[in-house]
Amino acid sequence: MSQQVIGNDVDRALEILRNGGLVGLPTETVYGLAADASQKKAVAKIFAAKGRPNSHPLIVHVASIEEARNLCSLWPHSAELLGSTYWPGPLSVVVNKAPEVLVEVTGGHQTVALRVPGHSMAIELLTRFKGGLAAPSANKFGKVSPTTAQHVLDDLGTSVDYILDGGPCDVGLESTIVDCSADTPVVLRPGGISAEDIQKIVALGSDELGMSRAPGMLPAHYAPNCELTLLEEFSEAIRMRESSETSTQRVIDASIDPLGFASSMYAQLRQCDADQIEKLFVILPQPIGIGLAIRDRLTKAAHGSKNQSH
């Protein structure tokens, strides 16, 4: 390419997006692969670049709660409460889509996931773009999510036209997704905002409709190349490490500082692959707060890695 792929030129990113191209978008959660949500051909490029099934819905990022309201046919009170409390931030709400929202974006569903990201560069881009940007994680489908601009380039190469460099992601885990399209909201995917905190704002129900209404709900996802084994106690890791014949092993204890681990989790998984680690043992945090989201991602990563049981 004649021009630098990674940079901080918002003007260039805007031109690419308006012309139907793909841009790596920094957010506080992970980097997204952004395209104009109103252009069918642009949206199709996302699926092609990621190798993502067309039935898997995309999250649409907008600059404000006002713009989010315009993309739904009925704005629920629960979405208003959650959006006004946690936006900009790591929360996506699923609502009934407006007629103009492309079914290519929603995976054929009549609902759409919406989010106002908590990143200054993303907000500047969205405010100037004056529309929604479909933006799943900027990586190959099912693999480890990107938390730096370089991760995006490593994964997608020339499939992405430009990558805005907003620095490492602060949260490091995908957004919490709450389905507000039903009478009682349901957490479809744990993330940067805990279910306990959401429960303080709205009463939550249980998910009885199964998976695939939102991104990241497949049983195998976020997978590194190494064999990933999940453990509840450090003593288990020592025992398994001693009994293993391979010498390229690593133990990570996520239970000591779950919040700190969350922000670096994907980077650590990528580093294990870069270091050609064959077996990775992770001690899980307790299933509360951010620990629940960590366990969700690592369980799916383990299913998608060389290790099929843990």
Q: Which of 199, 215, 240 is the last residue of a domain?
A: 199
> What mean pLDDT is reported for the chain?
91
Q: Which of 199, 214, 249 is the last residue of a domain?
A: 199
Q: Which of 150, 181, 199 is the last residue of a domain?
A: 199
Domain containing residue 243: 227-304
Q: Residue range 93-97: average pLDDT?
A: 98
* pLDDT tens column, 216-226: 556 566 789 99
**What is the secondary structure of 246-295 as a DSSP string?**
-S-EEEEETTS-HHHHHHHHHHHHHHHHHTT-SEEEEEPPPSSTHHHHHH
Residue 213 falls inside a structural domain: no
Tell me what pLDDT residue 4 has.
Answer: 87
Residues 244 and 173 in one domain: no
Residue 172 falls inside a structural domain: yes
> How many residues in the chain?
310
**Which of 124-128, 180-184, 243-247 shows the lowest mean pLDDT across its residues?**
243-247
* pLDDT tens column, 131-148: 999 999 999 998 999 999
Rank 180-184, 225-229, 245-249, 267-271 by mean pLDDT and report only the highest: 267-271
Residues 123 and 172 in one domain: yes
Residues 87 and 232 in one domain: no
Helix, strand or coil for residue 143? strand
Which of 219, 213, 214, 212 has the alpha carbon at shortest distance from 142? 219
Residue 221 falls inside a structural domain: no
Residue 222 falls inside a structural domain: no
* pLDDT tens column, 267-279: 999 999 999 999 9
Q: What percent of the chain has pLDDT over 70?
A: 89
Residue 218 falls inside a structural domain: no
Q: Residue range 256-273: average pLDDT?
A: 96
Residues 190 and 240 in one domain: no
Residues 72 and 158 in one domain: yes
Residues 180 and 232 in one domain: no
CATH code at 132?
3.90.870.10
Residues 271 and 179 in one domain: no
* Residue position matching structure tokens 């450090």: 234
Q: Which pLDDT band, with edges at 50, 70 and 90, does 2 fall under?
A: very low
**Which position has the higher pLDDT, 172 or 2?**
172
Tell me what pLDDT residue 298 has.
Answer: 95
Q: Residue range 248-259: average pLDDT?
A: 93
Q: Count up the domains in the chain and report the number.
A: 2
Residues 68 and 109 in one domain: yes
Residue 204 falls inside a structural domain: no
Residue 56 falls inside a structural domain: yes
* pLDDT tens column, 69-86: 999 999 999 999 999 999
